[in-house]
Amino acid sequence: MSLTADELENHVKNIISSKRIKYKAVILCEGDISSVKNVGLNPTMYRNLERKPDADFYKACLPQKMRKNNAPQFFNCGGRSDVIKVYSELKALHATDPKNSYLDINKLFAIIDLDIQKANIDHYSFQDTEKIFDNLYNELEINHHNLDNHVIFTTGLIHKEAYFLLPILTDFFDNYKNPLSYVNDEFSLEKIDTDIIQDIDKDKDLNENFEIVCHRIQFFRAKLF
């Protein structure tokens, strides 16, 4: 469920008035914020958001050195559309009263899932998430020449979790020190792929956005096949 107007306003005010973002990069991401929806203006409570998915995942991806000194501050913001709204509202609120904002507007970023359906983004250099994806990625690799064009980033695959299903990880999972299982059976990427294919016709989003999916399959062909 998307944030209400009041919840969005409260969320933005809590982020911008948090002293721990001073001089640091702020990275907005998807993730549950139900624990702070009703706390009012209370930036201290927001520290717990970094311990919840997806913020905790992205923070764990940082190099060790970056986790200690001036580490970016990650904030869950709800769903993908909520992240986009929070990004826009943070910029607007900071512009109206920069002296009472701890935000460095040049260090504001967002990471969102690509998803199947595209999402429009108002007042941004790329009009939707698909345009970001096309400019940011070259097959499965980030196009480093275009990095400076972006402050809102999409995942290169439909969700961040999809990276764990790439065939190149087969050997890693086969030799993982702790036993893995899938549906009460031995873990197998091949079995997961088979189950996904068998259920693919039930995916409403896929049927409604088939042209987008076909474009991406062609985009990844050299890396995946």
In the chain, domain spans:
5-112, 165-224
As a whole-number percent, the residues of the chain with pLDDT over 90 amount to 65
Q: Is 55 in contact with 76 (CB distance < 8 Å)?
A: yes
**What is 76-95 written as a DSSP string?**
E-BSHHHHHHHHHHHHHHHH
pLDDT at 215 over 60: yes
Please report the pLDDT score of residue 113 as a whole number: 97
- Residue 153: other Cβ atoms inside 10 A: 19
Q: Which residues, listed in sequence order, are joined to residue 153 by a DSSP beta bridge?
A: 111
SS3 content of the chain, % helix, strand, coil (to 5): 55, 10, 35
Given a cut of 70, is residue 225 above it in pLDDT?
A: no
pLDDT above 70 for 58: yes
Instruction: Note the pLDDT of residue 1.
Output: 58
Q: Does position 112 have pLDDT exceeding 90, yes or no?
A: yes
Q: How do residues 131-170 score in pLDDT, each as one tens digit? A: 999 999 987 889 999 999 999 999 999 999 999 998 889 8
Answer whether residue 197 shows pLDDT above 80: yes
In this prediction, residue 81 carries a pLDDT of: 97
Q: Phi, psi (5° rounding) for residue 68?
A: -100, -50
Query: Taking CA 30 as the corner, what is the angle to CA 26 and CA 36, rounded to the nearest 5 degrees?
Result: 80
Whether the Cβ atoms of residue 66 and residue 27 lie closer than 8 Å to each other: no
- Helix extents (H) in the chain: 5-16, 55-60, 80-96, 129-136, 170-174, 189-199, 204-208, 210-224
**How, if at all, do strands 73-76 and 26-29 pair?**
parallel
The verdict on whether omega for the bond into residue 54 sits within 30 degrees of 0, i.e. cis, is yes
